[in-house]
A and B are shown apart, each in its own frame.
Chain A
Amino acid sequence: MNALRRHRALSRIWASEPGLRGWFTTVNHTDLGRMFLAVAIFFFIVGGILAMLIRAQLASPRSAFLGPDHYNQIFTMHGTIMMFLFAIPFFEGLAVYLLPKMLGTRDLAFPRLTAYGFWCYVFGGSMMIFALLAGVAPDSGWFMYPPLSSTIGAPGINSDFWLIGITFVEISAISAAVEITVTVLRYRAPGMSLSRMPIFAWYALVTAVMILTGFPPLILGSILLELERAFDMPFFQVAAGGDALLWQHLFWLFGHPEVYIIFLPAAGAISTILPVMARSRLMGYGWVVAAAVSLGVLSFGLWVHHMFTTGIPHMGLAFFSAASTLVAVPTAVQIFAWIGTLSKGRPSLHLPMLWLLAFFATFVIGGLTGVMVAIVPFDWQAHDTYFIVAHLHYVLVGGFVFPMLAALYYWMPHFTGRKTYFKLGNTAFWLIVPGFHGTFLLLHWAGLLGMRRRIDTYESGQGWEAINLIASISGFVMSIGFALVLIDVVINAAVAIRGSRDPWKAGTLEWAMPTPSAPYNFASLPQVTSREPLYDAPDLPVRLARGEGYLGDPSRGRRETLSIEIATGAPRYITIFPGNTVLPMLMSAVTGLFFLGMLLKTYWLVPISAVGVICCALYWTWSLGGTTREGALPVGHGPELLTAGEVADPPGWWGSIFLLLANGTFFGSLLFGYVFLWTIAPNWPPPRYAEPGLDVALAALAGAGLAALGPRLRPGAGLLLLLPGLGGLAWAGIRILTRVPDPTAHAYDATLWVLIGYALLHLAVALVMALFVAARRRAGHVGAIIGGEPRIARLWSDYAVLVSGIAVLAAALPGWLT
C-alpha cells in the first residue's frame, strides 16, 4: 500500500462528517482544539471590549458615561470572562490541539469527553453572555465575596448567573484536565519515556493536575453559596454560624493556583519555542521540569496572601509571606534557564521571538511587583488599589497573552499549512507592547497615590487625571494592535500561499506530519529514541507516511492508537476510539437544562435533566467495547498487543483515578470548611448537635464492611453483599439527617446536609455502576467479563464507602462525644 492509498484509507476512518453536521458530531482533537481556540478568542474580544468600556469611563474625572450599576457589572464580567472564559479555555484548546501531535499519537484519551467539555464551555459561556446583554450580569467583582454576593447584597439573579454559569463551564476544565493527564501519561509514541517527553507535555501535565486539585474548592464554594442563596442554608451568614471568610479561603485556595494554571502553559510554550528560535536546545530540561512541578506544589500554599488585610493572625502572615516570596525561586530558575538557552544559540528575531522578548520585559516587572506585595506591610497599603490592577495585568498579559501570541505565530503555519505572508503582525506588535506599558505602568503609581480599584469614577485634583488619560489612550492603541493581529491571522489563513512542513526547523513530532494535519495525525506511529526525534531522523515524516511505524495498516477499519507504559514508553495495549457522534453535544445540552433549572428556580426541571444526563452517560458507556474476544493483535512491529477492552487497566480506569483525585479534593475542601467553621466562625458551637443512636453506628459499620467486601468476591455473590452494604450506609446517613431536620437553622445543620448529601450521591453512583457492569456481563461484553470494567466499578464503590464512612463519622462524632 503506498502513502496516498494509506492516507485515503485512514482519512475515511478518521474524518469528521462533512459540512455543518460535522461541527456538532466531531470528536476529533484537531477540530475541537481549533473550535476551543476560536471560542476562547471570541471571549477575549468580549472581555477586551469591556476593558475598553472601563478605560473609556476612567479616561477623565467625573465621567458620566457609565453609572455604578453598569460599571460594576462591566468590571466583574471583564475579570470573570478573562479568567474563566478566555485564559483557561485557551490553554485547553492549545493542549487539545497540540498534545497528541507532540506526543506522537492520534487523538486524546477520551475523544467524546473532549467534545462534551467543549459544549459545556459553549453553553455555559452563552449563559454569561446572555446575562451581560440582558443587563443582569454579576456585579460583585470577580471574586464574588459574600455577603455582598449573597442575598443580602445581591438579591437579584445576577450572582446566580456567576455561580451556576461558571460551575457549568468548570465541567469543561475538569474534563479537559482528566483528558490531558491520561493522555500525557498513557498515550505517547512508543519509546517516548518520561525523560524524552516534549517539555510542553510536562507543563501541560502539571497544569492539568493543578486544575484537578485547584478547581474543586471553587466549585464547592459556588455550590455552597448557591445553596445559601436558593435555600437559605447559612454557610456565609455570621448570625447563623456561617462565616464570610470561609468563602475567601475557598476562593483563593482556587484563585492563587489559578494564576499558575494560567502561567504554566505559557511557560511550556516558551520552553518549546525559545530553543527553536535560538537554534539550540533547552538548557536544564530536568531543572525546568522540577521548577514547573515545584511551582505547582508551592502555589497551593500561598492563597492567604490575597487575604493579608482580613485580620489573619500574626504567625500566619509571616508564614504565608515567606511562602509567597519563595515561589519566585522556581520562576527565576526558569527565566535564567531560558536566558542560558538564548546564550547557547544564535537567536533570530522572528515574530514569535519578538513576542518572547515582550514577555521577558513585562513578566519580570510583574514578578517583581508580585514579590513586593508578598511583603505584608507593603500589601496593606497596595491591596485593592490600582497597584494591584497593574501588577495582575503585568503578570497575566505579560505571562500569558504575550507568550500565547508567540505560540499563535509559531504554530500558525501548523494550523493553516500556510506561510505567514503578510507582515501586519509586526505592526501589531509595536502597537500592543508600548500600548500595554502605557496603559499599566503608570497605574502602579496611581495606586500608590490612593486610587482604589473598582471605583466607577473619581474627583479631579488628586494627581490621577494625567495617568488615567494616558492609560486610556494607550489602552485604545493596544486594542487597535489586537484588532490587527486578528486581521492578520484571518487573511493569512485565508489567502497566503502553502508553506513547507517544518518552517522553523523544530525537532518535536508535531512537525513530522503534513500541515494542515490529517484527521489521523500520523499514518503510522513513530518509535521515539530522543527528545527531538526530527533532529535525529529528518526523513521520519516520509517513513511514517509510508507506514513504517506502528499501526500503519488501516485494514481493521477502526480508529486505533497505542497506549504505553507510563515511565518507559513501552507499548502496552491498543485503544480503539469511538467514531463521530452527536451524543456529547446532546449530553451537554441536557446538562445545561439541569443548570438552567437551578438558575431559573424551575426545580422540576432539575431532577428530570439529572435523569437525562444519567441516561446519556449510560448509553455513552454501553457503546464501548464489543462482545467478541479478539486476543492479541499485530501492531506492525514487535509483540502483538491486546485491545483496551481486554486489559485490567483500560483508559476508563485511569480516567476514574484522576476524576476521583478531583472529587477527593472536593470532599477534602468540604471537610476543611467544616473544621474552619468549627474553629473560626464566631457563632459556634451550634446550639444543638445531631445525636444519632447506636443503630446508626452499627448500620454504617456493617454497611461499609459489606460494600467493601462485595466487589472483591465472585460477581454474582459480590452484588448480593454490595447492595445491602450501600443500603446500610445510606440508611445511616438518612437517619442522621432526621436529627437535623432544618438545614437553614445553623451552618452546622447545613454542613451536615451537604456532607450526607455528598455521601448519598456517591452511594447512588456506586449502585448504578455496579448494576451497569452486571448488565454488561449478562449481555456478554468482553470488557465486563475479562476486562477492567469491574475494577472501575470497584474503584467508585470503594470511594463511596470511604467518603460515606467519613461523612457519617464527621456528622455523628460531636453528638456521640458530648
Chain B
Amino acid sequence: MHPAGPAAAIIATLWWVLLIGATAIFLLVAGLIAWAWRRPPGEVQERRFVVWLGLAFPLAVLAALLAYGLVIGERLLPRATPDLVEVRAEARQWDWRFGYADAPGRVTENELHIPAGRPVDVAISSADVVHSFWVPRLAGKLDAVPGHVNVLRIEADRPGRYEGLNAEYNGPGYRDHRFTVIAHDAEGWQAFLRGERP
C-alpha cells in the first residue's frame, strides 16, 4: 500500500474508493437492522425491501463499480508505447531468471533491472510448476504457467530497489522465493545494458 508506480497507484486509489463504499453500505445495512428491530410489529411494503433495496440498489451500485473497474482495467493493459522496455522473467523452484530484449544473452538471477520512469513489459513464464510474479509496490500480480507466456506491464516512478515476490504457493521453498527489482536512472540503465555492474 505504498505505491511506487502508476499501476500500483491506480489500484491503491481503487482500494480507498472500495473501502469507503463498503463501509457506507455496511453502515446502511446495520442501521436498517437496528430500525427493523425497534419498529413496532405490523405489515410493511414487501416491494420496498425486495425490489428497491434488494434489486435496484445493488444493481445500481454494482453497475457503477463495474464500469469504474473496467475503465481502470483498460489503463493497466500492456499497450504499445514508444519508450517500451521488454524483459523476460522465468520462474522455477525456487529462483527467478531475467532476460532483456535490449541486451540479448544477458541473464540475471533473482535481480530484475529496469529503467525508472519507463513502461516495462515483463513476459512471464515457468520452467516447472505454477508461480506468480508480483512486485507489490509497482503493480498487481500475474501467474507463470508452464507452457504459457503472460505479459505484465510494470513501471517504477523513481530509481530504487523494490521487493518482488512469488505469489502462488509452489512448495517448501515458497516463503523465500523472492527477487529484487532494481530501477535505474537513464544513465544507470545504459550502464547496465553495456554490461557494467552498477
Q: Which residues of A contact B (CB under 8 A)?
A: 68-69, 72, 140-141, 145-148, 152-153, 238-239, 243-245, 279-280, 283-284, 287, 291, 309-311, 314, 317-318, 321-322, 325-326, 328-329, 332-337, 339-340, 342-347, 357, 360-361, 364-365, 368-369, 371-372, 375-381, 383-385, 448-450, 452-458, 681-683
Bound-state CA distance A116–B86 (Å) is 59
Interface pair B168/A384, CB less than 8 Å apart: yes
Selected contact of A343 from candidates B15, B44, B50, B148, CB within 8 Å: B44
Interface pair B49/A284, CB less than 8 Å apart: yes
Bound-state CA distance A542–B18 (Å) is 56
Bound-state CA distance A311–B14 (Å) is 21
A sample of 25 cross-chain residue pairs with beta-carbon separation below 8 angstroms, ordered by A number, consists of A72-B172, A153-B128, A153-B171, A283-B44, A287-B54, A309-B141, A311-B148, A321-B69, A328-B58, A328-B62, A333-B50, A333-B54, A335-B54, A339-B36, A340-B44, A340-B50, A344-B41, A364-B26, A364-B30, A377-B11, A383-B141, A449-B1, A450-B165, A454-B169, A456-B174
State whether A452 and B25 are in contact (beta carbons under 8 Å apart), knowing that A152-B129, A329-B62, A376-B73 are contacts in the complex. Answer: no
- Measured CB to CB, the nearest residue on chain A to B76 is A377
State whether A69 and B172 are in contact (beta carbons under 8 Å apart), knowing that A364-B29, A375-B69 are contacts in the complex. Answer: yes
Extra A-B contacts (13), CB below 8 Å, given A68-B175, A72-B172: A148-B171, A311-B148, A318-B70, A318-B73, A329-B58, A333-B50, A336-B49, A336-B50, A340-B36, A361-B30, A364-B29, A372-B18, A383-B167
- Measured CB to CB, the nearest residue on chain A to B77 is A314
B contact residues around A326 at 8 Å (CB)? 62
| Per-position binary interface string of chain B over residues 124-155, scored 1 when its CB falls under 8 Å from any chain A CB and 0 otherwise | 00001110100010011111011110100000
| Chain A proximity of B8: nearest CB distance (Å) | 8
The 10 closest A-B pairs by CB, nearest first: A380-B140, A238-B147, A340-B49, A311-B150, A343-B36, A333-B54, A375-B69, A342-B36, A368-B22, A336-B53
Interface pair A344/B33, CB less than 8 Å apart: no
> Is B186 positioned at the interface, with any CB of A under 8 Å from its CB?
no
Interface pair A384/B132, CB less than 8 Å apart: yes
Bound-state CA distance A347–B70 (Å) is 43
B contact residues around A453 at 8 Å (CB)? 169
State whether A325 and B62 are in contact (beta carbons under 8 Å apart), knowing that A314-B77, A380-B141 are contacts in the complex. Answer: yes
Give the bracket for the number of chain B residues in contact with chain A: 35 or more
Interface pair B41/A345, CB less than 8 Å apart: yes
Selected contact of A378 from candidates B15, B41, B70, B139, CB within 8 Å: B15
Interface pair A153/B73, CB less than 8 Å apart: no
Interface pair A377/B14, CB less than 8 Å apart: yes
Bound-state CA distance A455–B172 (Å) is 9
B contact residues around A347 at 8 Å (CB)? 36-37
| Chain B proximity of A481: nearest CB distance (Å) | 22
A contact residues around B139 at 8 Å (CB)? 380
Selected contact of B14 from candidates A325, A369, A378, A683, CB within 8 Å: A378
Interface pair A357/B53, CB less than 8 Å apart: no
> Is B66 positioned at the interface, with any CB of A under 8 Å from its CB?
yes
Bound-state CA distance A280–B26 (Å) is 25
Complex interface residues of chain B between 51 and 65 (CB less than 8 A to chain A): 53-55, 57-59, 62, 65
A contact residues around B58 at 8 Å (CB)? 328-329, 332
> Is B170 positioned at the interface, with any CB of A under 8 Å from its CB?
yes
| Chain B proximity of A416: nearest CB distance (Å) | 30
> Is B103 positioned at the interface, with any CB of A under 8 Å from its CB?
no
State whether A147 and B55 are in contact (beta carbons under 8 Å apart), knowing that A375-B14, A457-B175 are contacts in the complex. Answer: no
> Is B105 positioned at the interface, with any CB of A under 8 Å from its CB?
no
Selected contact of A384 from candidates B55, B163, B167, B172, CB within 8 Å: B167
- Measured CB to CB, the nearest residue on chain A to B150 is A311
Interface pair A335/B29, CB less than 8 Å apart: yes
B contact residues around A325 at 8 Å (CB)? 62, 65-66
State whether A283 and B167 are in contact (beta carbons under 8 Å apart), knowing that A321-B66, A368-B26 are contacts in the complex. Answer: no
Interface pair A385/B167, CB less than 8 Å apart: yes
| Per-position binary interface string of chain B over residues 11-48, scored 1 when its CB falls under 8 Å from any chain A CB and 0 otherwise | 10011001000100110011011011101111110101
Interface pair B53/A448, CB less than 8 Å apart: no
- Measured CB to CB, the nearest residue on chain B to A310 is B143
Bound-state CA distance A683–B147 (Å) is 8
A contact residues around B173 at 8 Å (CB)? 68
State whether A340 and B46 are in contact (beta carbons under 8 Å apart), knowing that A147-B129, A318-B73 are contacts in the complex. Answer: yes
Interface pair B146/A238, CB less than 8 Å apart: yes
Selected contact of B41 from candidates A147, A244, A329, A346, CB within 8 Å: A346
| Main SS class of interface, A | helix
Interface pair B169/A141, CB less than 8 Å apart: yes
Interface pair A283/B46, CB less than 8 Å apart: yes
Interface pair B50/A380, CB less than 8 Å apart: no
- Measured CB to CB, the nearest residue on chain A to B151 is A311
Interface pair A378/B169, CB less than 8 Å apart: no
> Is B10 positioned at the interface, with any CB of A under 8 Å from its CB?
yes
Bound-state CA distance A458–B175 (Å) is 8
Selected contact of A456 from candidates B15, B62, B142, B175, CB within 8 Å: B175
A contact residues around B65 at 8 Å (CB)? 325, 371, 375
| Chain A proximity of B112: nearest CB distance (Å) | 17
Interface pair A329/B55, CB less than 8 Å apart: yes
B contact residues around A337 at 8 Å (CB)? 49-50, 54
> Is B191 positioned at the interface, with any CB of A under 8 Å from its CB?
no
Selected contact of B54 from candidates A69, A152, A279, A332, CB within 8 Å: A332
| Per-position binary interface string of chain B over residues 66-90, scored 1 when its CB falls under 8 Å from any chain A CB and 0 otherwise | 1011101100110000000000000
- Measured CB to CB, the nearest residue on chain A to B47 is A284
| Chain B proximity of A576: nearest CB distance (Å) | 44
A contact residues around B44 at 8 Å (CB)? 283, 340, 343-344
| Chain A proximity of B58: nearest CB distance (Å) | 4
| Per-position binary interface string of chain B over residues 168-198, scored 1 when its CB falls under 8 Å from any chain A CB and 0 otherwise | 1111111100000000000000000000000
B contact residues around A328 at 8 Å (CB)? 58, 62
Q: Which of A291, A369, A380 has the most CB of B within 10 A?
A: A380
State whether A317 and B73 are in contact (beta carbons under 8 Å apart), knowing that A153-B129, A344-B44 are contacts in the complex. Answer: yes
B contact residues around A361 at 8 Å (CB)? 30
- Measured CB to CB, the nearest residue on chain B to A239 is B147
Interface pair A372/B22, CB less than 8 Å apart: yes
| Chain A proximity of B41: nearest CB distance (Å) | 4
Q: Which of A239, A243, A336 has the most CB of B within 10 A?
A: A336
| Chain B proximity of A147: nearest CB distance (Å) | 5
- Measured CB to CB, the nearest residue on chain A to B43 is A344
A contact residues around B68 at 8 Å (CB)? 375
B contact residues around A378 at 8 Å (CB)? 11, 14-15, 18, 69
B contact residues around A310 at 8 Å (CB)? 143, 145, 150
A contact residues around B174 at 8 Å (CB)? 68, 454-456
| Chain B proximity of A243: nearest CB distance (Å) | 7
Selected contact of B22 from candidates A72, A369, A456, CB within 8 Å: A369
Bound-state CA distance A59–B48 (Å) is 47
- Measured CB to CB, the nearest residue on chain A to B54 is A333
Interface pair A309/B130, CB less than 8 Å apart: no
State whether A284 and B50 are in contact (beta carbons under 8 Å apart), knowing that A148-B170, A344-B42 are contacts in the complex. Answer: yes
| Chain A proximity of B119: nearest CB distance (Å) | 16
Bound-state CA distance A340–B43 (Å) is 9
B contact residues around A238 at 8 Å (CB)? 146-147
Selected contact of A145 from candidates B26, B42, B69, B130, CB within 8 Å: B130
Bound-state CA distance A343–B142 (Å) is 47
Bound-state CA distance A116–B145 (Å) is 41
A contact residues around B59 at 8 Å (CB)? 329
| Chain A proximity of B133: nearest CB distance (Å) | 9
Bound-state CA distance A318–B170 (Å) is 28
Interface pair A377/B33, CB less than 8 Å apart: no
Bound-state CA distance A366–B39 (Å) is 27
A contact residues around B132 at 8 Å (CB)? 309, 384
Interface pair A309/B142, CB less than 8 Å apart: yes
Bound-state CA distance A690–B98 (Å) is 41
- Measured CB to CB, the nearest residue on chain A to B168 is A384
B contact residues around A368 at 8 Å (CB)? 22, 25-26
State whether A448 and B66 are in contact (beta carbons under 8 Å apart), knowing that A287-B54, A383-B141 are contacts in the complex. Answer: no
Selected contact of B33 from candidates A283, A291, A318, A357, CB within 8 Å: A357
